[in-house]
Amino acid sequence: MNTKALTDTVMNATRDRAMPATPTRQRRVVRRLPVQKNWPPAVIAAAQFGIFVALLALWEVAADLKVIDPFFWSQPSTIWSTLVVFFTEGNAFTDIVYTFESTLIGFVLGTVAGALLGMSFWWSPNYARVMQPYVVCLESIPKLALAPLIVLVFGMGIGSKVAIAIALTIVVSTLTAYAGVRAVDKDQERLFYSIGASRWQVFSKLVVPSCVPWIISILRVNIGLALTGSIVGEFVASEHGLGRTILYAGSTYEISLVWVAVLVLATLSMVMYVIVGWIEKVLRKGVDR
């Protein structure tokens, strides 16, 4: 045995004595992300409906047992009776159409006007710097506090409700579109100009498509703001609308009618939210193409 082999043998023996005995084979624990099987849509819908029914039953029992005051909280059975009367003998469809119309008009006009104003800042940085403080000031002003003034100027008709809805949506749209303008890639702008594109071509072919995803992202926010503006306008002064119904029912202590109007308003808002969500998907598909 040569010297190197002898040295290796001694070192291996020393290492074996120094190291504690370990199992010849250890089981390695492999951790993975927890995977949960998705429930079928029917099961999800059944669970949601079950929770809703359970809450209604709890509310009804609590009102019957006087756990809660039925005068202030009403109860589902009374609300249902009032709902039937509201749709058969009241002005339910007139109020719903009135609120829906003012919300939709204010949403479209406010979103479009705000988007155009925000994208117009691209044409001149000086113009943008001049207008930006006014936009920020308008954003900081509580528009709902101006509702009585707007109603006095535009009257008790649908015009005042549309104006309030526009006031709530136009600033958000402007700031969002302006953020999209500032996010436009400067290198792409230089590339467009280098191949001979005009300013209008750069704006229409680069700036507008770049801002569209930003504008799409605020559609669901704006529909809620527009609905809020319409309801506030109806609170101040109105001849029709769900907001007027809620105000009237609250002033006469018809709590069940208040709940009916709130329920119908919630259903209307969900329908509009779904419609806007569908529009958003369509627009996103167009942008992706």
DSSP letter string, 8-20: HHHHHHHHHHHSP
Residue pair 269/100 in contact by the 8 Å Cβ criterion: no
- Residue 8 clears pLDDT 70, i.e. is over it: no
> pLDDT digits over 46-57, tens only?
999 999 999 999
Quick one: average pLDDT of 229-253?
A: 88
Task: Please tell me the predicted confidence (pLDDT) of residue 144.
Answer: 76
Place of tokens 């703001």: 225
**Paired tokens of 232:** 């506030």
HSE-CB of 264 using CA atoms within 13 angstroms = 28
Residue pair 91/257 in contact by the 8 Å Cβ criterion: no
- Residue 10 clears pLDDT 70, i.e. is over it: no
- Give the amino acid at 196: G
Report DSSP state, residue 4: H
Quick one: average pLDDT of 185-202?
A: 85
Report the residue count for the chain.
289
Task: Please tell me the predicted confidence (pLDDT) of residue 259.
Answer: 93
Domain spanning 113-288, CATH architecture = Orthogonal Bundle (1.10)
Task: Please tell me the predicted confidence (pLDDT) of residue 286.
Answer: 65
Residue pair 119/177 in contact by the 8 Å Cβ criterion: yes
**Paired tokens of 169:** 């949506």
Quick one: average pLDDT of 91-109?
A: 91
Mean predicted lDDT score pLDDT of the chain: 84
> pLDDT digits over 50-87, tens only?
999 999 999 999 999 889 888 888 889 999 999 999 88
Task: Please tell me the predicted confidence (pLDDT) of residue 100.
Answer: 92
More confident residue, 8 or 175: 175
- Residue 111 clears pLDDT 90, i.e. is over it: yes
Residue pair 122/186 in contact by the 8 Å Cβ criterion: no
Residue pair 177/169 in contact by the 8 Å Cβ criterion: no
Quick one: average pLDDT of 198-217?
A: 87
Give 32's pLDDT tier (boundaries 50, 70, 90): confident
- Residue 20 clears pLDDT 80, i.e. is over it: no
Task: Please tell me the predicted confidence (pLDDT) of residue 156.
Answer: 84
> pLDDT digits over 148-191, tens only?
888 888 888 888 899 999 989 998 899 899 888 888 888 888 88
Domain boundaries defined on the chain: 113-288
| Pairwise CA distance, residues 138 & 68, whole Å | 43
